[in-house]
Every structure is written in structure tokens, then in C-alpha cells.
Structure 1
Amino acid sequence: MDRNIRTELSQVLGNVVSENKKRLIETALENRTRYLTVVLENIQKPHNASAVLRTVECLGMQDFYFIEQHKEYEANPGIVKGAIKWVDVYRYGENESNNTAVCLQALKDKGYAIAVTSPHTEGYYPEQLPIDRPVALVFGNEQEGVSSTALENADYYVRIPMWGFTESYNLSVSAAMCTYTLMQRIRLSENKWQLSEEETEELRLQWYRTLVKRANIIESEFKRNHDQGPA
């Protein structure tokens, strides 16, 4: 969409959004990032995936990736609490395809370092992981962890220290600990972690569309009037 048209449409939809919600949106946009993203590989329990997605949104991350080699994710409404409306979800679940390899290569092509979490590998703690470039943090399923494909495609390995007897943390707890620590470090860094101006404009419009009832009707009327030009 042409930038001027996008700006005009945002203004039209913004006219029916309350001032309070617009302030919330602007605050969220200022703190939104694609510098850190999360990838979940073959998660078996929807409530775990939903909890991670909720954490991702709360921390200001915009993109979320599902690798669905064996099972398609379905959001748990009671846990996700509407977070899925505010993030961009990407799914890799093609039949007869190595979806892990395809997803991770796509992220590498976007400039991400692939950081694979595993308690069984020597790697960086979240406090030490390099953040000089965007990071895609990969978590495996609850029973088997990450796949061999994920490990082979890793730029870094990540582990959380443990001093007890239990083998590993719960998936959603691991994700929360890692993402919180990394987001705190990223926000305090000099890296350009915030969205670009164009990304901000696109996301503002996307969120207005989510908020406004019958936004599709308003947008259709706007486009029709715009195509007709001034009377």
C-alpha cells in the first residue's frame, strides 16, 4: 500500500479509536521489536505454546514462529489472553518438508543468529549470549527437546543454569526466563532494536484494523472514495 494512502487510512480508522487505546498503541509501538524472536518446534501441549506466546507479546516482541512437523498449534484462549491478536505468527507445517530447516534458513536469510536452547549442550547463559545481531531463540518440545536439525543449524547454544536434581525447567518457564533476560539486555544496548518508521506505520494500521469494529467496511468505503477522487 502506498505510504500516503496508509497514513490517510490510519487517520480514518484512528478517528473511531479511543484516545486511551491510541496512547496504549503508541507506547506499545515505541517498545516493539523484531530484534528478538521465538521459534517453537513441534510443541505438543497447546497451553505451553500459548503461555510462551503471551510472554512474547508482553515483552514487546512482534514475531513468533511455529514449526509444526507433527502437530498443528491451536491457541488456548484462557492462557493466551488475546495476545495472538497483536503479534505476527508464522507457521511452518508443510507435509513432506523438513520444516525446521526451512524455517531456520528463512530466519538466517533475514539476518538472525539462530540460538538453540538445550540443557544437554554446553552453551551460553542468557546473560552471555551475543546480541550484536538479531536473535531467533529456538525451543523444542516438552519431551524430546529440540531436533537434531535445529542443533545442526544453530549459531549458538543456550542453556539456563540449574542447581537442583530435576533435568530441566518447564517450557514456558524456560522461555520466560530467557526472553526476559535477553530483552532487558537488548533494550539497554546501543543496537537498533526498535521498529523502523515504515514498520511502525504498518503495525499501527494493522492494530487499528484489529480494534475497530467493521474496519473492513470502513476501509472499503475509504478506498472507494479515494479511487473516485474529489467531487
Structure 2
Amino acid sequence: MRKLENSELDRKSVEDFKEAQKTPITIILDDIRSLNNIGSVFRTADAFLIEKIFLCGITAVPPNKEIHKTALGATETVEWQYCETVLEAIEIARNDGAIIAAIEQVEGSKSLEDFEVEIGKKYALIFGNEVFGVSQEAVENSDFCIEIPQLGTKHSLNIAVSAGIVIWDLFAKIRIL
């Protein structure tokens, strides 16, 4: 086996990315404080052709040197919008036809492994603050909540890790349909 050179990876140009058919997923970041987490989510969104990212509340916005360190240019490809509140982002996504899913541990949540996507539907995924998680008001305004199964001693995962897991899972399920 030989490791491939970057030139052999056949990646899209910025223009090709913007013209490409997107995966019907929008991401809503609810008061994310870490610039590295924000950048990592942008990079994951680029990798899976995500439609858009909403940056809400205290979540920083590009251009930002610290976001760029982990985004590595994905802020130039992935569409994004700032909203003062998470409820504003939820309303915009819902008006665009998205089903709203908070990624949070709540009573009655759906386990990610059991979650089934619906053909032809758009999804808006809410990821929350590193300490407090998705806000209660966002949970209450979601159509349902998805929980990532965890078997260890910790109560949560890093938001960038959570985003990667959930986005990959939905991407894979959508591509099968």
C-alpha cells in the first residue's frame, strides 16, 4: 500500500463545492465557546457537503484566525449564517422544511443507532455548548432529540466529536436511500 498524495485525492475546488448538490443537513451551533470546535465543525461540514451552518449566540464567526486553524479553509466553502438566538436559527431551518433534531441526552431521546432517516427530508442538527449542552429552549423547540450511545464513565463527548459522529451517521444513512 502507498499513501496517496493530496494531488491524487480528486477534491473539489471552492467553485465546484458551491455548485455541488448538498447533503440535506444543516447544522445549528448553540453557544459554542471553543473556536477550535467551531473550526472542526466547519471542516466536517465541508467533508460531507453539508448545506449550511448557523452560528448562534456566543458562537464566534469567521473570519477568525483561531477558527481557521482547524477549519483549514472550510469557512470559504460551507455556507454559514449568524443568528443572535438559537430559536431564530430553528425558525429559519424549519421554514426551509427541515426536521429539527437536538443532539442531547433527554427523556425520550432516540438512540443514534436506531434513528432512521426519512427519504427526501432535510434535517437541522443542533449541537450545544461545551459545558451546558443544547439549551432547554432549543430542546423544547426541536421535533425530537438524538442521543449518542455512551458506555463509559463520562457524561458527554466533545462537541466536534459529537458532530462528526452524528453527521457521518446521517450522511451514511441518507446515501443508502
Give the TM-score band, short-chain normalised: 0.7 to 0.9
* Pair 1:139-2:127 in alignment: yes
Question: Residue 114 of structure 2: SS of its match in structure 1?
Answer: coil
Q: Corresponding residue for 2:38?
A: 49
Question: Residue 80 of structure 2: SS of its match in structure 1?
Answer: strand
Letter in 2 for 1:112: A
Letter in 1 for 2:105: P
Kept after mapping to 1: 8 A contact 2:127/2:134: yes
Give me the whole-angstrom Cα distance separating, in 1, the residues matched to 2:29 and 2:141.
Answer: 15
Of 86, 89, 96, which aligns to 1:103?
89
Of 139, 146, 156, which aligns to 1:151?
139
Q: Corresponding residue for 2:69?
A: 78
Letter in 1 for 2:68: P
* Pair 1:38-2:27 in alignment: yes
Q: Structure 2 length as normaliser, TM-score?
A: 0.82
Give me the whole-angstrom Cα distance separating, in 2, the residues matched to 1:42 and 1:130.
Answer: 28
The one-character-per-residue Cα deviations of 1:151-200 (angstroms, maximum 9, x if unpaired) are: 111101110001100111111111100000100111111xxxxxxxxxxx
How many residues are aligned here?
A: 163
Kept after mapping to 2: 8 A contact 1:34/1:63: no
Which runs of 4 or more aligned residues in structure 1 lie more than 6 Å from their structure 2 counterparts after TM superposition?
A: none
Letter in 1 for 2:80: V
Larger radius of gyration: 1
What residue ranges of structure 1 are gaps of 5+ in the alignment?
Answer: 1-19, 94-98, 190-231
Give me the whole-angstrom Cα distance separating, in 1, the residues matched to 2:11 and 2:164.
Answer: 26
What residue ranges of structure 2 are gaps of 5+ in the alignment?
Answer: 1-7
Q: Corresponding residue for 2:5?
A: none
Give me the whole-angstrom Cα distance separating, in 1, the residues matched to 2:115 and 2:20.
Answer: 21
Greater strand share, structure number: 2
CA 1:124–1:72: 2 relative to 1, 3 Å: same
Q: Structure 1 length as normaliser, TM-score?
A: 0.64
Taking every aligned residue pair, what percent have the same amino acid on both sides? 25
CA RMSD of aligned residues (A): 2.4
Give me the whole-angstrom Cα distance separating, in 2, the residues matched to 1:166 and 1:49.
Answer: 22
* Pair 1:89-2:85 in alignment: no
